[in-house]
């Protein structure tokens, strides 16, 4: 019976759906996290009577045909890159991006990763680094003895040095934007890598056309909506139950056949 396999694909699809939803909910307090949504496609169809085929020698054709679908499959898991809320932390090295863009991070391998998580700190040599100690490009170093750090909305970094009246300009942070943000490859640790689907990054100063602004003393919260996720979870659970009911019904039909005398 096709219905056994068809319902099985439906249960597998809803299991994937629940896994995506659970990951969203698990990261509802993760800084800069972007929620995901599972998308599905129907599988190939079996033609019992092909539409448009000849139904007689006089040239009449079948107007609709008869096709039986063979189930569902996961087509994609999209990342929804809408802006999260900005939460004030009053930490001078916490940065949030309001608008488009990613911070650029140098990995130990020398590759460049990208992140919306701006919870930065100072390394042992005064370099601005991530929570994992990875250098934030372009590798700006805060001088020893600095009494304060100021980062304006355009990404310019200045340090206040004891005994000096005017702040010292350290350097300029830049952001990267992509033609297709959904094509970035998530690496974990709030990091993403460039792929052929994402396109090549375009870098620029925060606040420039097409680039977001940098907000010092803030972090971007997750864009997960708890009410939406709970609603989606209930819908997925009911869909899973209905597909399991189809399997139960198919099993009962097969049992009826085996009991025929």
Same structural domain, 101 and 213:
yes
Q: Within its chain, how far is the Cα of 62 from the centroid?
A: 45
Residue 17, CA distances (Å) to 12, 30, 36, 165 in order = 9, 20, 10, 58
Q: Are residues 128 and 245 in the same domain?
A: no
Check whether residue 67 and residue 90 sit in a common domain. Answer: no
The reply to whether 65 and 132 lie within a common domain is no
Residues 247, 193: one domain?
A: no
Looking at the fold, whether 117 and 129 belong to one and the same domain comes out as yes
Give the pLDDT score at 166. Answer: 81
Q: Are residues 146 and 239 in the same domain?
A: no
The three-state secondary structure class of 62 is: coil
Check pLDDT > 90 for residue 58: no
Using DSSP's 3-state secondary structure scheme, residue 108 falls into: coil
Residues 101 and 199 in one domain: yes
Is residue 156 domain-shared with residue 204, that is, in the same domain?
yes
Which structural domain, as residue segments, surrounds residue 36? 2-81+224-258
The answer to whether the beta carbons of residues 152 and 167 sit under 8 Å apart is no
Q: How far apart are CA 177 and CA 111, in angstroms?
A: 17
The count of structural domains within the chain is: 2
CB 162 within 8 A of CB 145: yes
State mean pLDDT over 175-198. Answer: 93
Grouping H, G, I as helix, E, B as strand and the rest as coil, residue 55 is coil
Please count the other Cβ atoms lying within 10 Å of the Cβ belonging to residue 256: 9
pLDDT at 67 over 80: no
**Quick one: pLDDT at residue 143?**
86
SS3 106: strand
C-alpha separations of 190 from 21, 33, 180, 200 in Å? 18, 7, 18, 19
Which residue did the predictor score with more confidence, 151 or 50?
A: 151
94/214 same-domain check: yes
> Cα–Cα distance between 246 and 85 in angstroms, integer?
43
> Is there a single domain that holds both residue 133 and residue 204?
yes
CA dist list (Å): 237 to 5, 103, 114, 243, 246: 19, 38, 35, 10, 15
105 close to 113: Cβ distance less than 8 angstroms:
yes
**92 and 166 both lie in a single domain:** yes
pLDDT tens, residue by residue, 194-246: 999 999 999 999 999 999 999 999 999 999 999 999 999 999 999 999 999 99
Token pair for residue 168? 């010292």
Phi and psi dihedrals of 155, rounded to 5?
Answer: 85, 10
């Amino acid at each position: 019976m096709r219905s056994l396999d068809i319902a099985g694909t439906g249960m597998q699809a809803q299991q994937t759906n629940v896994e995506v939803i659970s990951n969203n909910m698990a990261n509802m307090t993760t800084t800069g996290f972007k929620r995901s949504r599972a998308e599905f496609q129907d599988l190939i169809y079996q033609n019992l009577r092909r539409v448009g085929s000849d139904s007689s020698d006089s040239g009449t054709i079948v107007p609709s045909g008869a096709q039986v679908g063979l189930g569902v499959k996961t087509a994609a898991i999209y990342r929804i890159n809408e802006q999260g809320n900005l939460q004030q932390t009053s930490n001078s090295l916490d940065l949030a991006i309001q608008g488009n863009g990613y911070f650029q991070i140098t990995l130990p391998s020398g590759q460049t990763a990208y992140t919306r998580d701006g919870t930065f700190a100072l390394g042992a040599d005064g370099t601005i680094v991530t929570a994992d100690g990875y250098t934030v490009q372009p590798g700006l170093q805060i001088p020893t003895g600095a009494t304060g750090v100021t980062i304006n909305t355009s990404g310019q970094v200045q340090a206040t040095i004891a005994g000096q009246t005017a702040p010292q300009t350290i350097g300029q942070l830049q952001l990267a934007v992509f033609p297709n943000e959904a094509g970035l490859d998530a690496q974990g640790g709030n990091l993403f890598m460039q792929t052929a689907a994402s396109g090549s990054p375009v870098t620029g100063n925060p606040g420039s056309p097409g680039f977001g602004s940098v907000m010092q003393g803030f972090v971007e919260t997750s864009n997960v909506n708890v009410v939406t996720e709970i609603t989606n979870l209930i819908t997925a659970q009911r869909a899973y139950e209905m597909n399991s009911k189809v399997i139960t019904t198919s099993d009962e039909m097969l049992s009826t056949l085996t009991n025929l005398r």
